[in-house]
Structure 1
Amino acid sequence: MNTVDLLYDVLQDKLANQRFYNEAMLVVINPSARELFKKLRDEEEQHSIVLQQEILAIEAKPFPINKFLGFKKEKYISNIDINNSSEDS
């Protein structure tokens, strides 16, 4: 699992928590408990925003191919002996 997949999983958990706190806030009668659920819901919303920003930042910056592959083309081309052909044998 790569970093972006992990962040998407965490984001899904945060959104589920948000829904849970929102539903609990609507059902509970005690004003103190309602305020606590509202606070928890709002904190989860802020976490979701941060996660979405991180995901977008990572997805907007793909890795350069030469760094990803870990080699330079010139190194391998210079090792080829173009004067030695199989027809000479």
Structure 2
Amino acid sequence: LINPPISLFYIQGLNTTAVHAHAALFGVYGFLALGFVLLVARYLKPNVQFDDKLMTWGFWLLNGGLVGMIAISLLPVGVIQAYASITHGLWYA
């Protein structure tokens, strides 16, 4: 049958899965929802001037926060678990 990649053999179901899930859910659907809210706000209030500089700062700070969340909280634990899984076995991790 089909053999999974070697990385999935050692790290599937560990905290590396949570890294992918949180990044995908917040990064795709969270930012999509925020963009839709901005679109609706501009539609409902067409005479209001939106500050493009503020929106640019918000965009980059949200993306930086997403990268920070992944790099600081989720990824280190996933890497430690992956190392434990590779050296001792998945049962240990």
Structure 2 length normalisation: TM-score?
Answer: 0.42
Higher relative contact order (CA 8 A, sep 6+): 2
Higher Rg: 1
Q: TM-score when scaled to structure 1? A: 0.44
